[in-house]
Amino acid sequence: MKTDIILAGVGGQGILTIATILGAAALKDNLYLKQAEVHGMSQRGGDVQSNLRISSNPIHSDLIPYGSADLIVSLEPMEALRYIPYLSKEGWVVTNTNPFVNIDNYPEMKEVESELERCGNVVAFNMDETAKSLMSPRSSNMVLLGAASPFIEINVEEIESAIINLFAKKGEKIVNGNLEAFRAGRKYTENLINS
């Protein structure tokens, strides 16, 4: 088993929280893990990217080569497109469709959506809207994690356990909101790939 994941978004969206949860779940599942991050924590709205490699065998490098990522997981559609050269031919893009417009020349969303569709294997929906509908507007990243989880060979119970452990200090309401968001994202993808 091997899964190479590129996590992408902009500062403040919770991309590194996803990496933390997947890392904890992978270790509990007795898997090997390597991670490399590129982020400007002091700059909200700056790009954030993480290479996350999970395997049942030892991993020698923490960087994912071009054309070999199994997943591009992004909370921002343009950031998903930025990493398409890393995607393998069989790989999947899982992305939010709600843009975070942080540059003057941000393209029209129809252009972005058209480029995403050309990737083939895509799960794309408005994850911010899903999180809001659950009365948990700050949990879009957990919707994203849930939507990506069917493509990640980690026991779903371990992922949920890692979510519980990470948010436990914030109280039961926050834990439950994040679990509900994760499950809603997972259900969306399961319905899509089973239809």
* pLDDT band per the 50, 70, 90 thresholds, residue 42: very low
Beta bridge partners of 52: 5, 35
What integer pLDDT is reported at residue 13 of this predicted model? Answer: 82
54: left (phi over 0), alpha (psi -120 to 50) or beta: beta
CA–CA dist 80, 63 (Å, integer): 17
Query: What average pLDDT does this structure show over 10-18?
Result: 85
Q: 144-155 pLDDT, tens per residue?
A: 999 999 999 999
Amino acid at residue number 137:
P
Q: What is the mean pLDDT of residues 48-73?
A: 94
Section 42-63 average pLDDT = 84
The pLDDT of residue 43 is 55
Whole-number mean pLDDT of the chain? 92
Centroid of chain to Cα 41: 18
- Identify the pLDDT of residue 40: 52
Kindly report, residue by residue over 69-115, the tens digit of the pLDDT: 999 999 999 999 999 999 999 999 999 999 987 778 888 889 989 99
Q: What tens digit of pLDDT does each residue of 161-185 get?
A: 999 999 999 999 999 999 999 999 9
3/135 Cα distance (integer angstroms): 32
* The pLDDT of residue 120: 87
Which residues, 6+ apart, have CB-to-CB distance to 21 below 8 Å? 145, 159, 162, 163, 166
* One-character DSSP codes across the chain: -EEEEEEEEETTS-HHHHHHHHHHHHHHTT-EEEEEEEE-TT-TTSEEEEEEEEESS----SSPPTT-EEEEEESSHHHHHHTGGGEEEEEEEEEE-S----STTPPPHHHHHHHHHTTSSEEEE-HHHHHHHTT-GGGHHHHHHHHHGGGS-S-HHHHHHHHHHHHGGG-HHHHHHHHHHHHHHHHHHHHHHH-
